[in-house]
Every structure is written in structure tokens, then in C-alpha cells.
Amino acid sequence: MNFGKTFVVLFLHTHVSVYGQTVQNAKDLRTKLMTTDGYDITVRPIADQSDFVRVNVSLALLALNSLDDVAGVLTTTAYMKVLWTDSELQWTPATYGNLASTFFPQDNIWKPDIALKNSNKDYTTLGIPSLNVEVSNDGTIEWYPFEIFTSTCSVDITYFPFDVQICHLKFVAWSYGPDEVYLKDGGGVDFSNYEESPSWDILDNSVAEEQIGEDIALSFTIKMKRKSLYAMLSVVLPILLLSVLKLFVFVLPADKSSYSVTVFLAFAIFLTIVEATMPNNSLSVAVFSIYVILMTAQSTVVTIIAVFEERALTFDEDEIKIPKWLFSLSNLGGN
């Protein structure tokens, strides 16, 4: 019986010592770190100020929202996984009820001002003031800022609609040089929560350091292929069928001009549609766009021939006369 009571007392004591962190423990810890130790968010959190703060960064892609071919803008939804060590935020858990980690608003501690270097909008740092960071007792900081990123992307539409695009998201520590804050790959691109895009298939991804002026950017690369079914059914297939229909102009016994003009107008409309979907300032020209232009030019020639043919069929024998300039040329050639 005494053994049983002793076991219960030991169990309760152990349970309280492991899970007994109180609100007062958390308050005491915050007071100790922020007030007693005089924490300063403007000072880089490293003992040797001549050394750099190593920041591990990875990207968790949630959705590929769109790729604007005309503007050359990639829109993605993602959050960053940012980890570093703050030497000023360390404590002994046993002193504070075995409290091993706590949370601070992101603006209450020092953090690297990471920004998207190739942003298509305003240059702003990641995260919002209400977002928390998790601080462990060994000084490890875990920060997960989320964002809808709009990055520039050079679009190559040579093989549209079977094109493959390569886009980059380049992140830098905006106010610091690489000798002060050094961004390192913390695990590449995470697709565990990614929702498939209706327009693009992701083929590959990578991450690498890139020198941009005096800065070193951490560049996340996404290689993706366009899903071509919609373009095939709505643009490519109708134009190919028109190319075949154009050849039947010369099979018609009459009214060839109306038929050829109709085909020409159809090509002109599709040419407008194709050009509207292509980047205006692209360094590349789509092979399919060139094909449509050639088909439109060919349709113009066919329409002219059809008009002359139809006009020739309406001539009376008395109307068929040799032009004077042609007669003069024939006499000149005879001399």
C-alpha cells in the first residue's frame, strides 16, 4: 500500500516537472530576455560582430497561380522556412519550469530583412507584424512568413503551346551584405502542400546562390511545361483545319471569291487571337505565330487569284482585248 502511494507521488512530481510551465514562467522568461538582458533588435545576434549570421532558407510552394505571358510575371503562393541562431535569446529551461521554447511577434526580435529581388511589385520584407516566430532555448529561431509572390520571368514562346518555361524567385537580405547576413539553402523547394496548377506542369526545381551586383541572392528555380490541350482545341486545331479548307477554293465551280474572303477573314481573326496571347516585347518569336502569318499571306494570294478567276469567267469575247502597253512590249520584243 505504501509502495502504491509512493509511486503516485513520484508520477505526479515527474508530470508537473515536465509539463508544469506556468504563465509566470513565460512572463519571467520574456522579462529576462527583453528587459534584464537588454535585448536590442537593431544589433545582429552574433557574439563576434565581424562574423556573418548564417540564415537557412527554403521555399514551400502552395500554388502556382498564373504566368502572364504578355507581362512576363509569375504569381505564386508560398511560405518561407527561415531558420537562424540568435545568441541573445538563450536560456536554461530548468530555470523556467522546463520551458524549452516560446513565441515572440516577429517585429520584437531581430530578423533578416529578406525580400524578393526580382519582384514585379513593391520591394517589401517578408511577413506581417502579427506573425509570430518560435524561439528555442538554444537560440534557434524558426520563422515561417507567407506571401503571394509576383516575380518577373523571361518567357520564351518559340514552341508555344508546347513551351517549357524556367522562372526564378531570387531572395536577398536587403540591408545586409553577404559578410553580415549569409543566406543558405535550407532544403530547396517543398511541394508537400502544393496544389496542382490547371495550366502548368512542374517538371523540375532547384536552388542555387547567384551573384547580383554586390549581393548574393538565393535563387529558387522552377521549370514548368504548359498544358497544351486547351490551346490545341481552341486555337491550333481550328487554324490547321482552315489551312486545309483554303485549298478547296479552286475546287468550287463558282463564287470562289466569297469563299476565299471568308477563309481569309477567319485567318485574320485567329492571327489577332494568337498575337494577343504572345508577349509583346519577347526576344523570341513563336513558330506557330509565324505559321499563322504565312497562312494569312497565302490566303491573301489565293483570294486575289480567286477574284481574277471569277472575273475572267464573266468576260464576253468582245471584252477580251490586248492592252496597248502589252501590245507595244510584244512589238519591241519582235524588233
Confidence of residue 6 (pLDDT cuts 50, 70, 90): very low
Give the range among 126-130, 138-142, 271-275, 329-333 with minimum mean pLDDT. 329-333
pLDDT band per the 50, 70, 90 thresholds, residue 186: confident
Residues 218, 57: contact at Cβ < 8 Å?
A: yes
We report the CATH number of the domain holding residue 40 as: 2.70.170.10
The predicted-structure confidence for 41-58, as pLDDT tens digits, reads as follows 889 988 888 889 999 999
Residue 23 lies in a domain: yes
User: Do both 110 and 254 map to the same domain?
Assistant: no
**118, 168 in Cβ contact below 8 A?**
yes
Does a structural domain hold residue 332?
no
Residues 272 and 175 reside in one and the same domain: no
Strand-strand pairing, 146-152 and 73-85: antiparallel
Q: Quick one: pLDDT at residue 318?
A: 54
Task: Pick the closest to residue 218 from 229, 232, 207, 230 (CA basis).
Answer: 207
333 in any annotated domain:
no
pLDDT bucket at 225, cuts 50 / 70 / 90: very high
pTM of the model: 0.75
The per-residue pLDDT for 311 is: 67
In this predicted structure, the answer to whether residue 153 has a pLDDT above a threshold of 60 is: yes
Is the pLDDT at 325 greater than 50, yes or no?
yes
Residues 102 and 188 in one domain: yes
Identify whether 328 is part of a domain. no
Given this model, what pLDDT does residue 248 score?
77
Do residue 289 and residue 148 come from a single domain? no
Whether residue 249 sits in one domain with residue 217: no
Instruction: Kindly report the average pLDDT of the chain as a whole number.
Output: 81
Q: Which three cell numbers stand for residue 95?
A: 530555470
* Co-location of 206 and 82 in the same domain: yes
- The C-alpha torsion from 105 through 106 and 111 to 115, rounded to 10°, is 180
Look at residue 4 and tell me whether its pLDDT is greater than 50.
no
Residue 140 lies in a domain: yes
Q: Which residue has the higher pLDDT, 334 or 269?
A: 269
Asked if residue 221 and residue 234 are part of one domain, the reply reads: no
Confidence of residue 330 (pLDDT cuts 50, 70, 90): very low
CA distance 99 to 33: 14
Q: Are residues 275 and 181 in the same domain?
A: no
Q: Which of 208, 226, 244 is the last residue of a domain?
A: 226
* One domain for residues 50 and 119: yes
**Grid coordinates of 110:** 531581430
The pLDDT of residue 165 is 92
The verdict on residue 323 lying in a domain is: no
Does residue 9 carry a pLDDT above 50? no
Q: What is the pLDDT of residue 287?
A: 80
52 lies in the same domain as 172: yes
Domain boundary among 202, 226, 250: 226
* Total tally of structural domains belonging to the chain: 2
Determine the pLDDT at residue 193.
Answer: 92
Q: What is the C-alpha separation between 320 and 41, in angstroms, rounded?
A: 96
| Band of residue 317 on the pLDDT scale cut at 50, 70, 90 | low
Q: 83 and 186 share a domain?
A: yes
Q: Which residue has the higher pLDDT, 84 or 2?
A: 84
Asked whether residue 187 carries a pLDDT value surpassing 60, the answer given is: yes
Q: Is residue 330 part of a domain?
A: no
Phi, psi of 263 (to 5 degrees): -65, -40
- Give the domain extent around 179: 2-226
Q: Which of 189-193, 240-244, 294-298 has the highest mean pLDDT?
A: 189-193
Q: Mean pLDDT lowest for which of 66-80, 226-240, 267-281, 294-308?
A: 267-281
Q: Is residue 168 part of a domain?
A: yes
Specify which residues 168 forms β-bridges with. 221
pLDDT-derived band at 254 (thresholds 50, 70, 90) equals low
| 74 and 133 together in one domain | yes
Dump pLDDT digits (tens) for 17-40. Answer: 445 678 888 888 889 988 888 889
Domain endpoint, select from 200, 226, 252: 226
